[in-house]
Structure formats: C-alpha cells, structure tokens
Structure 1
Amino acid sequence: MVETAAGPMPAYTETLPRIPESVAHARRLVDLALSVWGLSGVQDIAEIVVSELLTNAVQHARRDSVRVTVTRLGDEEVRVAVVDLSRTRPKLRAADADEEGGRGLAIIDGLSRGRWGVDPKPWGKQVWADLAPDKESPGE
C-alpha cells in the first residue's frame, strides 16, 4: 500500500540497481501488478512508460539504485513512478530528427495524455505518469 491524499492505495514497488538491465525487471513488475489487478487495458502503455522513465534514470541520475512503483489509483487508472537520487528535473523537449535519444518525455506525455509530473524530494525526485485505457471508440 502507498499512502496518498486519498488514503492508502494498492501498490507494487521495488528498488532496482541503476543499470540498463533493470528496465526489463521494471516491465515485469508492471506486468505483475496489472495482471493481479486485471488492468490489461493499460498494460502496453505502462510497459513503455516505465521503460522510458527508468531509462532516463539510468542515463541521467546518480547513485546506484532507483525505486519503481506501480500504484492503483482507481478502477482503471494506475500511476507508474520512478524515484532516483538526482535533483535535476527532466525537461520535455523536441528532439531533432537526427538525434538517437531525447524523446522519452514526449512519449510519456503522449501516452499519459499530459498527466505526468515530477515531485522533488530532499534527496532526489520522483517522476510519474498516470495512465488509463483510451475510452474513445475506434470510429471516433
């Protein structure tokens, strides 16, 4: 359980080494949580979001570990978050066409429909995205 302003919410959380191989482990944690909660409607986007969040932390944070959390916010909504020990806030930017990276936050912004943010901590930050299934019908 994670304590929020709305009270305790079910959550899965794990501390992982800040290495590229942890991205696959974080995706499995997200898959497990969403499977247990029966939230397959957000599984694909949650996997992409946690991959982008953790990749950013691996590339830009400091220290040896990060914390990944998946919190159930409602019947169909989850929050995917990564905490690291860097106070540097990520910035949403437009990557040039010839750049290999720099699109992670733009991807997160699109998949979360702009519902993401950064919570500063005294020792670092938490970057999160709230995700829900797309309710639009295919014909709209």
Structure 2
Amino acid sequence: MTGALEDDVKAAPTGPQRYSDGYLPRDTAPSRARRDVTLCLGTWGLDALVDDAQLVVSELVTNAIRHTHTRRIGLSVTRHPDHVRIVVTDTSRTLPAPTALASDTEVGRGLQLVDQLTTRWGSKRLRTGKQIWAELTTKATS
C-alpha cells in the first residue's frame, strides 16, 4: 500500500529563488546592500553578475537615500531562469526621472549607468511608496 501512495505523490513546483532585506536610510545602506547582493549571487553560482549587480544596487539604494525622505529601504533579489531581478523600494511615491546631462557633469549619472548595465529597468508606484527594478541576464546570448 505504501508503494501506491508514493506513486501518487508528485513534486510541488517551486517558485524562483528570492532574497530580501531592509535597511535604514544611512550611509552604510549601500555597502550593506552590495554585500548582500554579492552573497546572494555567489550562493546561486552567479558570480559573473556580481560586479554589475553591485553597481546597480549601490546606485538605486544611494538614490533612495539622497533623493527621498524614506524611512526604510527594501531590497529584493529574485532569480529567474534567464535573469536576476533586483528591486529597491522606498516610501516616496516620486518616480525617478533621468535627465539629459552635459558631458562634463560629474553627478547625476546613476540611472544612465543602471540603463547601460541592465537588460531592462523601470519603476512603479506602490500604495506605500515606489519600487525601482532592474534585470540582469543570466544566460549568454549569441
């Protein structure tokens, strides 16, 4: 009888792997987020994405600190079959607005950097603030 029951048992599908944490809007938040995304990607065997992911998460967390009056910054990293999605949330509902910059401008290039390093990125308002998301491709393209 046990064998019959075992034949009927099927593995339940699992969702994507996910890591999340939160930070206070302090100067230490970007470095903590970089450390966390590094550990997360390393655990998943995605070391090739670490450098770009560190820059992306650092820019997004730093923007939340500098340009909002948020009380809390959230970070989530989700592994999908062909990409990793990084999401940073804060309590401001103001969406980021990339601006055209002069070539000699030394600040304000964060979102341009995010755009260059990621496959795609975007933002959306939430009831409690907003999220900025960015995706890095995990599979090499031909």
* 1:70 and 2:89 matched: no
2:116 to 88, 104, 110: 110
Residue 92 (structure 1) shift: 1.9
Counterpart secondary structure, 1:8 = coil
- Name 1:135's counterpart in structure 2: 140
**Residues 94 and 106, structure 1, Cα contact 8 Å, conserved in 2:** no
Whole-Å separation in 2 of the counterparts to 1:62 and 1:33: 28
Counterpart amino acid of residue 29 in structure 1: D
Q: How does 1:45-64 map to 2 (within 5 A)?
A: 45-64=52-71
Counterpart secondary structure, 1:27 = helix
Whole-Å separation in 2 of the counterparts to 1:52 and 1:9: 25
Deviations 1:32-80 (A, max 9, x none): 1101100012111000000000011011122321001111122x52111
TM-score for the superposition, normalised by structure 1: 0.84
Residue 84 (structure 1) shift: 0.3
- Name 1:15's counterpart in structure 2: 22
1:92 to 93, 98, 112: 98
Residue 97 (structure 1) shift: 3.2
Whole-Å separation in 2 of the counterparts to 1:53 and 1:17: 14
- Name 2:124's counterpart in structure 1: 119
Consecutive unaligned residues in structure 1, runs of 5 or more: 1-6
Whole-Å separation in 2 of the counterparts to 1:8 and 1:87: 29
2:35 to 2, 21, 28: 28
Whole-Å separation in 1 of the counterparts to 2:124 and 2:45: 28
Whole-Å separation in 2 of the counterparts to 1:53 and 1:134: 24
More divergent stretch after superposition (115-124 vs 98-107): 98-107
Q: Give the count of matched residue pairs.
A: 129
Residue 133 (structure 1) shift: 4.8
TM-score for the superposition, normalised by structure 2: 0.83
Root-mean-square deviation (CA, aligned residues, Å) is: 1.8
Whole-Å separation in 2 of the counterparts to 1:73 and 1:62: 32
| Larger Rg, first or second structure (1 or 2) | 2
